[in-house]
Amino acid sequence: MIDLASLIATPTDTAIVAGIVYGSAMLRTITKELGRITTRLDTVANVINDHSNRLTILEVKKEQIDV
């Protein structure tokens, strides 16, 4: 026979479940923000790489002129 009293959630049980649900939502939010930050960092890295490539081209052209 199942003890019906054992099936009733206590305030502690409810608080634990609420904490887990809240924590999960916060982790989803943090994950989304980290994804956005990663995208921005990728953009910055691409810009830096483009500028680096342009500087390399300018240095090569300068060396050709100096010769």
Give pTM, 2 decimals: 0.62
* pLDDT the model gives residue 7: 79
Return the domain boundaries, the chain: 4-66
* pLDDT the model gives residue 2: 73
Per residue in 4-43, pLDDT (tens digit) is 777 788 889 999 999 999 999 999 999 999 999 999 999 9
Band the pLDDT of 67: cuts 50, 70, 90: low
Question: CA 51, CA 25: separation in Å to the nearest integer?
Answer: 40
Question: CA 40, CA 53: separation in Å to the nearest integer?
Answer: 20
* pLDDT the model gives residue 9: 84
Question: CA 10, CA 40: separation in Å to the nearest integer?
Answer: 45
Question: CA 17, CA 55: separation in Å to the nearest integer?
Answer: 57
